Amino acid sequence: MKARTRRVRRPVVLLRGLRKKGMTLVEVIVAMMLLVGVVLVLGGFSAKFAQASNQAHLVVLANELAASRLDAVRQQPNYIALDTLVRTDTVKADFSSYTVRTQMVRVGGAVTDSVDYKIFTVTVTHPAMRKVVTKTTGVAAF
């Protein structure tokens, strides 16, 4: 006897010769939604990065102004001249106005005291800065 081969039926294709070309409307909409999501995330990241960069720039300038004022304190020729640096100034740096405030606290200094020194605190503020920059130093009597 002959072995019978089984014939596999293929589904009937009604539109022979037409192949699927391109993308469907649903695929286009999904691709556009993904693209819009990526662009929005990158835009938000860019805005936060620019804001953080600006804050860092302001803080660096404020630190430089505070260090400059403390250098002026250290370079005074005599102990009495230190009192002239206690003031509040508005300083323009990099097209911005900073407020530089110098405070002094004297420790000791009386005839009966064994210590005599001054503590200087420089505070730098700017309206756009989130934090205040503060630097402190002590100067002994000389």
Rg (CA), the chain: 37
Q: Is 60 helix (H, G, I), strand (E, B) or coil?
A: helix
pLDDT score for 3: 65
36-48 pLDDT, tens digit per residue, is: 999 999 999 999 9
Average pLDDT over residues 100-118: 91
Q: How far apart (Å, rounded) are the C-alpha atoms in residues 125 and 58?
A: 10
pLDDT score for 124: 97
pLDDT score for 112: 87
All residues at 6 or more sequence positions from 84 whose CB lies less than 8 Å from its CB, including other chains: 76
pLDDT score for 39: 96
Burial grade of 38 (CB within 10 A; 0-12, 13-18, 19 or more): exposed
Q: What residues does each domain of the chain span?
A: 25-140
pLDDT score for 86: 94
pLDDT score for 16: 56
- Residue 88 pLDDT > 70, yes or no? yes
Nearest to 63 by CA among 138, 139, 132, 137: 132
Calculate the average pLDDT of the chain: 89
DSSP-derived secondary structure letter, 130: S
Question: ∠82-86-92 over CA atoms, to 5°?
Answer: 115
